[in-house]
Structures are given as C-alpha cells and as structure tokens.
Amino acid sequence: MLAAKPSPSTPPSDEAAGASAPAGSMSFIARVRAALPQLPPTERRLGEFLLDFPGNLSSYAALEIAQLTGVSNATVTRFIRRLGYEGYEDARRHARQQEGSGSPLFLPASAAQGTPTSELIAAHLRQASDSLATTIGQLSAEQLDAIAQALVGARQLLFVGYRQNRNFAAYLRWQLLQALPMPSQVIPGAGETLGEYIAQLSEQDVVIVFALRRSVRVVSEFAAQARRQGARLLCITDHASPAMPADWLLRVHTAAPGPLDNHAALFMLSHLIATATLQQSGQPGRRRMAAIEAGHDALGELL
C-alpha cells in the first residue's frame, strides 16, 4: 500500500500512514481526536460521531455514514483525507484491524440505538443465556475438580487483576475466603508493585489471574515469572484477549448487544469454582464457614 498523503490543511506526520502503518503509529481514534479541534462544523459532527462509535466505519459504506450523521458524501471524503488516509477503504481497513484490540467502542452503534427498551432487554437476556451456556459448556468436570484441589492444597493464593479485573479478582477471593483458611490477597495493594510478590512464590502457591479486556501488559509478564518459579496458574480471560501460558486457561464469553461487556458468565464461572472448592475442602471447610458465622454473631455486625 502506498503511504498516505496528508491534506494541505493537516501538518505532515510520520504517523499519518494508512492501514499498513507500523504498530507504533496513531490509531484511528487517536487521529480523529488530534484533528477534532481544527475541523469545520460538519466534519466535527462526523468526527464526534465516529469517536462515539468508531466501529461504524468498518461496518458501513461512506454513503451510509454520511446519511447517519447528516453530512454529504463529499464531507466524509474530505474528513477521511484530512486524517491522512488515501480514501475511505484505507481508513475502513485500519479501523477493522483495530476491532480486535479489545475496545468496546469498536462495536456498531446500530446494535443499541433506536431499539425499544423491551427488545433491548430481550436481546440482552438471549445473549447472556448464550454466553452462559458457551462458557460453562467449555468447562469440564475434570478441570473444575483439578482447580478446586489446587486451591484447597495451596500454601497461599494470590489474585491478580487490574482495572475492572481487580473487582472480579476480589469477588472470587471473597467467595473462597468462606472455606479456605490459607493466606490470600488481591495484588498489588495500594502503593505496591507486582515485583514485590515474585520473590515469595513457589510450587506450593496458586496464582489466579483475571485478564479480561483490556488488561495491562505487566500481568502476563508476572504470570510467566510466577510459573517459572513453580507456582500454578489459573487464568480467567475472554476471547478478545491474548492467551497466556497457564495450568488452567478459562475463557469467558462477554458479548452483549451494545458497547458494554456482559459479565454474567464470569460470575457464574466464579460461583462454580467457589462451590467446587467448598466441596473439595470437606469438613474443614464447613467448620470454617461455621466459625465465620459464629464470629458474625459475636460481633453483631450483620442484620
């Protein structure tokens, strides 16, 4: 592909290449954001629309985008060239490549816009049901038993998660805390780094990593180092994220009729892991649950 030629109104830039640009160049969204302050009103309206729903660029023809935003086809052409692309198809290919990046923005706006609420609810229920069935259908009883046995027999449990994944990690830790007495924590804590936990890892430990989109690069590096030191690794991720080497790799389906992921299947998976672990813990696990309940009663902290 020939290098893209910036329009006269846009300062030349090495990063204004087309879809074949190197990995370090500007994304489609970054180009739109950079150009937005200098755009004339009609192109600004088009730019703001594509920033909200960039997935529409890869889903629709130029004429359809023009109709959706109330601008002319010529305005779409000028806008695309102003971003440094040779033409609409060049920009479209670039945006399509980014659909796999994990950003929920690259889902078409039409999936949710203008849909009656009753239909939207039904669509979400259908999608959540499909995700539950697919996610749990991929989990064998043997896998679940092996994970539960590892958790029950561990010296310590470390739960790793950044951004939304930290909430998921904290949820599963809280569930397991009911039955398992060994030390466990979500890492890193405030002001800490993952590197501070590497030295203490051994083959007696289990690391549970949540890496659903969009996680951070250091998580996979930490997971690889943990395995090199003998720790067993349970990785829970989704189909939009790259796989990492793990003893158990569980993929969760999170698709939804809109730009926000649906995590119903993730919580069901966490529930199954916690339930299987409670069963594996046997009488000691039951006694721990009873002791926790006695503690609640002694403190009077629950209604």
Cβ proximity of 177 and 185 under 8 Å:
no
Q: What CATH superfamily is the domain 120-299?
A: Glucose-6-phosphate isomerase like protein; domain 1 (3.40.50.10490)
pTM of the shown model: 0.66
**Structure token digits, residue 4:** 């893209």
Q: What is the pLDDT along the chain (303 residues), one digit of tens a residue?
A: 333 333 333 333 333 333 333 333 677 878 888 888 888 988 988 888 887 666 667 677 888 888 888 899 999 999 999 999 999 888 888 877 765 544 555 555 444 455 678 888 888 888 889 889 989 998 999 999 999 999 999 999 999 999 899 999 999 999 999 999 999 999 999 889 999 998 889 999 999 999 988 778 888 899 999 999 999 999 999 876 777 889 999 999 887 777 778 899 999 999 999 999 999 999 999 999 899 989 988 999 888
- Tell me the CATH class for 28-111: mainly alpha
Domains in the chain: boundaries = 28-111, 120-299
Residue 144 CA to residue 269 CA, distance in Å, equals: 10
Cβ-count burial of 199 within 10 angstroms (0-12 exposed, 13-18 middle, 19+ buried)?
Answer: exposed
